[in-house]
Amino acid sequence: MGLTRNRKAPDKMPRHKWMFLSLFGLVIVVLIINFYFAFVMNSNKLQSQTESSKAVYAFNKIHFSSSSSSKQVILLDTPVKKSDINIVPPIKNASISSALEIEIMFKKLPLKYLKKSTLVPGEVGKLLKYLQPSVGTSTQLWSVAKEWVGARHVVPTQAPLLGSLLKTISTAKIIKAQNAPGGTQLKLLFTLEGGQRALFKPQWYKRDELIEGPVFSGKDRHNAEVAAFQLASLLGLRRVPLTAGRKVNLLRDIMPVATKSLLKTFVPDGKNNTCFYGTCHYCSRSDAVCGNKALMEGALILMLPQNFKLKQYRSPWQRTYKENRAAKWELDSNYCESIKSNKMYSPQTGPRLLDLIDAAIFDFLIDNGDRHHYEVLLNVSGAAVMFIDNGKSFGHPFQDHLDILAPLYQCCLIRQTTWERLLLFSGDVLGASLEKLLASSYISPVLTSPHFVAINRRLRTIYATAENCFEKHGKTHVIVDDGYR
């Protein structure tokens, strides 16, 4: 009986069951095909990685996370490897295809980018000469620094007095110390002998500390400010205020000249170290910065002359600072088109967009993902975007945040003078050049060696990004001579 029932059952199966079974079968087939491709692709990837021994970052896990806005954000997980290219997640929608193309280009970079340039030693030699304190120290040099400031630079191309100025910044007597106004981070405003004002950003981290987490994590790195100043000079982007390392004795140099309100924030740490917590958005008594006994290292950043005022703008490539919320530039690959339609950013009307692309290149090299606002000199025609506040840089030499380069790969434009200067450092020589300039710093060694390796790797990534743009739009449409530098 049972057998008969079983044999007859298919004949009696209703139509909707048949349809269900066929659909189920189809789903199984699709799944099998998917698994097959995933397996083949993965084994190919593994094979090519072992073959080349140069592991590259792999886009191996695509997952979806819902953002608080209704838009869906795709995040790509990329493993961090101490290899040639170390893009870290999240890479969001608008950057995914560029990231993949840049990865491919990075691997087949034309030979000219790998060849050592013969012009570098001469150029670095010239800058090293400028760093010699040729006339010793003198507070009379403050007026020289003041005269240097122009629409497009803070330091001129020829600057034989630079070394003396930096030495004066590192040694001039501090006649007043107060809480610095503006910004959210702890910093002090010093008045130096001769009336010159400068910002002091204190040391929070040891040199080899790795700042984990999102690109803007952690506190300011004083050594990053010092390194950024010298890197800008190598790149001919002399838009960073004069910055030098400085060691101060808190008991002897600072407390006697501190304002009452600053003095109130000095606290002992119970281990014989002198500490203070200042007044700022993120300042609190429980989060004081401490010297080694009374000795504290920091970066001293010369204030721009008071006859110049700064005007602040929100960066069009500002981050949301929220993990589950994406900014428009992170979702829309045509974002640059909408930016260019704004008169302020049209490459035809002024230098601003190319300045922001310069800033993106600079920030990618130093790994600064925190340029939420940018500043230019007020009422100065053709004023450059100043590279003020580089404190959140050089946090992790084994990671690169490709999306800092979004202005470059979304707009596919680069100023000719910037591009030519970048080419000067082909063949992985930018890191060593920076190391040479930093060797004479008052807080040397400024960076650990992995940071110099990172700079070379990041410059190659910039070359790859530009090459990818050339391939897509033609070199003549990408490189722009807008008459500014």
C-alpha span between 55 and 83 (Å, rounded): 6
Residue choice 91, 227, 366, 388 for contact with ligand ATP (CB under 6 A): 388
Does 375 sit near ligand ATP (CB under 6 A)?
A: yes
Cβ count within 10 A of residue 377: 19
End-to-end CA distance of the chain: 93
Is 389 labelled a binding residue?
A: yes
Q: How many residues make contact with Mn ion (CB under 5 A)?
A: 1
List the one residue out of 269, 298, 264, 293 whose CA is nearest residue 279: 264
Amino acid at 270: G
14/213 with CB nearer Mn ion: 213
- Which string of b and e fits 137-154 if b means at least 16 CB within 10 Å? bbeebbebbeebbbebbb
301 labelled binding-site residue = yes
The least CB distance from residue 459 to ligand ATP, in Å, is 25
Is 201 marked within a binding site? yes
CA distance 359 to 317: 11
By a kind-dependent CB cut-off of 5 to 8 A, residue 388 interacts, out of Mn ion, ligand ATP, none, with ligand ATP
Length, in residues, of the chain: 485
Residue 186 or 237 having the CB closest to Mn ion: 186
Stretch that binds ligand ATP, among 86-94, 177-185, 320-328, 377-385 (CB under 6 A): 177-185
Q: Which does 199 bind (CB under 5 to 8 A by kind): ligand ATP, Mn ion, none?
A: ligand ATP
| Tokens representing residue 289 in the block | 């910065």
Site for Mn ion in 373-402 (CB under 5 A): 389
Neighbouring C-beta atoms of residue 55, cutoff 10 Å: 17
> Using an 8 Å Cβ cutoff, are 274 and 251 in contact?
yes
Closest distance between ligand ATP and the C-beta of residue 401, in Å? Answer: 17
370 is known as an active-site residue? yes
Per-residue x/- marks for ligand ATP, 180-219, CB under 6 A? --xxxx-------------x--------------------
| Contact with ligand ATP (CB under 6 A) among 85, 215, 303, 480 | 303
Return the H-helix or E-strand segment holding 210.
Answer: none
Q: Put residue 56 in one of left, alpha, beta given phi > 0 → left and psi -120 to 50 → alpha.
A: beta
- Annotated binding-site residue numbers for ATP: 185, 201, 301-304, 375, 389
The residues that touch Mn ion, with contacts defined as CB under 5 A, are: 389
- Give the catalytic positions in this structure: 370
- Annotated binding-site residue numbers: 185, 201, 220, 301-304, 375, 389
